[in-house]
Amino acid sequence: MKFASKLATVSAVALLAGAIGASAATLDITSIDSGWSAVVPGGVTVSNGNPTSTLRWGTSTGQGRSGYDFTDAATPINNLISDTPFLVGNFDHINQPITGTTLQTADLDVDIQITGGPLVSSVFSFTHTETTNSTPCGFPSTSVCDDIVSVVSALGGGVFDILGTTYNFQVLGFSTDNGATIVNAFQTLEGQSNPAGLYAKFTATTPVPLPAAGWLLIAGIGGLAAMRRKKKAA
């Protein structure tokens, strides 16, 4: 019985510490602001705005130019838990049959303002594979020959500290099912819009300190256990 009592006390303390630590490792996002840069080649039309920034390229063959649209996610985003994917914004590849200039690479510069913390600036690097819309395509394709869009995280200010806790910002990739499945590249169908969410996450890379109230509660549990032992000894 004594062992069971001690085990219960230790378990309660561990669970409480874990719960308080987890609740402390949350962030609130005040704003998200993004824009295109480092676009290759020249001749791609860049239009950065708030909340939507666009790229357009090529000569239309009747259905308009191809392009990217990116719309920042609505803010604020509150109580974001460490290691939980969140929506940075909505991406759309408008895939049209074109001639002439085609996009090769582009950076999406993203500024995320953390409540009570820094402005986190990161770069999402896009690589675009424009196909010739003719067979054989070279890979399994749904339309005549899908295009491919991929994204990676470039070097940026992705590491920051808040109240002694170090966080790391990480680009996760695209999702077409509201974050259930996330990939770093997806195929886009010819002659239509191809939407996907762009997701990222923050990871707490150092232990989250317990608030003072947490230590008081743990001390209280320990005190109750000591009183129990004294009564049994008496």
Q: Are residues 114 and 229 in the same domain?
A: no
154 and 202 part of one domain: yes
Length of the chain, please? 234
Angle between helices 212-233 and 2-24 (to 10 degrees): 170
For the question of whether the overall pTM of this predicted structure is more than 0.85, the answer is no
Reported as a single tens digit per residue, the pLDDT across 197-208 is 999 999 998 754
Nearest Cα neighbor of 86 from 28, 155, 10 is 28
State the pLDDT confidence band at 222, using cuts at 50, 70 and 90: low
Q: How far is Cα 27 from Cα 114, in angstroms, rounded to an integer?
A: 7
The range of the structural domain enclosing residue 20 comes to 1-25+209-234
Together in a domain, 166 and 57: yes
Same domain assignment for residues 4 and 47: no
* 85/180 same-domain check: yes
Q: What are the structure tokens assigned to 144, written together?
A: 């005549």
The total number of structural domains that make up the chain: 2
Radius of gyration of the chain from its Cα atoms, rounded to whole angstroms: 25
pLDDT tens-digit readout, 120-174 = 988 999 999 998 877 888 788 888 899 999 998 755 557 888 888 899 988 899 9
Instruction: Give residue 136's pLDDT.
Output: 83
**For residue 198, which of 153, 138, 154 has the smallest C-alpha distance?**
153
Rounded to 5°, the CA angle 129-63-131 comes to: 20
| 160 and 71 inside one domain | yes
- For residue 64, the SS3 value is coil
**50 and 153 assigned to the same domain:** yes
Contact between 94 and 69 (Cβ < 8 Å):
yes
- Which of these, 112, 107, 149, lies nearest to 124 by C-alpha position? 107
**Which tens digit of pLDDT belongs to each residue from 21-70?**
433 479 999 999 999 999 999 999 999 999 999 999 999 999 999 999 99
Closest CA to 198 of 146, 149, 143: 149
DSSP 8-state class, residue 191: T
64-105: per-residue pLDDT in tens? 999 999 999 999 999 999 999 999 999 999 999 999 999 999
